[in-house]
Amino acid sequence: MSGHSKWATTKHKKAAIDAKRGKMFAKLIKNIEVAARTGGPDLTGNPTLYDAVQKAKKSSVPNDNIDRAVKRGGGLDGAGVDYTTIMYEGYGPSGVAFLVECLTDNKNRAAMEVRTAMTRNGGTMADPGSVSYMFGRKGVIIVSAEQEGGPTSEDDILLAVLDAGAEEVNDLGGSFEVISDPSDLVAVRTALQDAGLDYESADALFVPSMNVEVDVEGARKVLQLVDALEDCDDVQNVFANFDASDEVLAEL
């Protein structure tokens, strides 16, 4: 789930809890397989695979599982994988726009899963292009405020990434979100590493250009739909253009 501003903080904490679930492990493994199939199994020559592996390691996916996924994706074990990326668009409660990214080996199953989750949780499917124009692809890197050498500040991060193409740095409270053009994602991530700053995740995600503010009831319904979609085996990422105040999030 990727929203912005205050919701991003909650989303990041939620991801840490979700990582303990088997479904999250499966999605991280699938990311590795696809990255290895697309760009080859060599981590040094495939930055997308490198980031997918780093994310899996930070989410405590066992190394054996990661190694097998790299081999499977790269065709090194003779099996190979063939997933297709499909984007579904829709509207949730309170008119919130949803982009649902699937990685699947069965398009019909994925479409049925997403449609069922939508309709059972107050959402409706939308025609291609009717929602996606509200989102832009961005590089998103999450950096923990607590580093090995001690706490780091927004200024420290800005100093490290400004010349590498970063567009903005957002304080999420306990961590920072660095936004860039997707083409600058590797350069920004490398700049952080060169400055001795460890990052938690680096992904090319869809970020909304405008947000819908929701109240407590609206946020509860939207999150219920998010959870239902994320529970679908073929759903890899859910993006929505909603935000909620600190008071609303506290009540939730």
DSSP the chain: -B--HHHHHHHHHHHHHHTTSHHHHHHHHHHHHHHHHHH-S-GGG-HHHHHHHHHHHHTT--HHHHHHHHHHHTTTTS-----EEEEEEEE-GGG-EEEEEEEES-HHHHHHHHHHHHHHTT-EEE-TTTTGGGEEEEEEEEEESEETTEE--HHHHHHHHGGGTEEEEEE-SSEEEEEE-GGGHHHHHHHHHHTT---SEEEEEEEESS-EE--HHHHHHHHHHHHHHHTSTTEEEEEE-EE--HHHHHH-
Answer with the residue of higher pLDDT: 72 or 15: 72
Q: pTM for the complete prediction?
A: 0.83
**Span 185-235, pLDDT tens digits:** 999 999 999 999 988 888 889 999 989 999 999 989 998 999 899 889 899
**Residue 240 has which token pair?**
């929505």
**Span 23-47, pLDDT tens digits:** 788 889 999 999 998 888 999 899 8
Domains by residue range for the chain, with CATH: 135-208 (3.30.70.980)
pLDDT of residue 76: 77
Min mean pLDDT across 14-18, 111-115, 136-140 is at 14-18
